[in-house]
Amino acid sequence: MPRSKITTAEEIVAALHNLIESARAAKLDFTTQLLQIAQLDVLMTLHDIAPQELDELRSALERQSHSGRVLDLEQLRRLRRQRTLRAP
């Protein structure tokens, strides 16, 4: 991602953070959730995280919480490398 787009994305994340805090303070729970989703979307774009990677992380966290095992971050890194190698 070009530097100017990175800077813009970082500014959007910061602005969303401020809006999230304001919505939370005003007890606008649903608005807070929507803003958090928007912030996550920008962060995923900024860090080139595919939705499938986020889903894998969620699944791994759920498995870990049910089994009491430690999350295998190395497995998640391998999945990310595989996705990167398959990318055009």
Per-residue pLDDT of 49-81, as tens digits, reads 888 888 888 887 787 777 766 666 777 677 777
Place 88 in a pLDDT band, splitting at 50, 70 and 90: low
Per-residue pLDDT of 27-43, as tens digits, reads 999 999 999 999 999 99
Alpha-carbon span 10 to 47, nearest angstrom:
11
Please give the pLDDT value at position 59.
Answer: 83
Alpha-carbon span 48 to 42, nearest angstrom:
10
Alpha-carbon span 49 to 37, nearest angstrom:
14
Listed by start position, the domains of the chain span: 1-48, 50-88
CA distances for 47 relative to 6, 9, 32, 67, angstroms = 9, 10, 22, 29
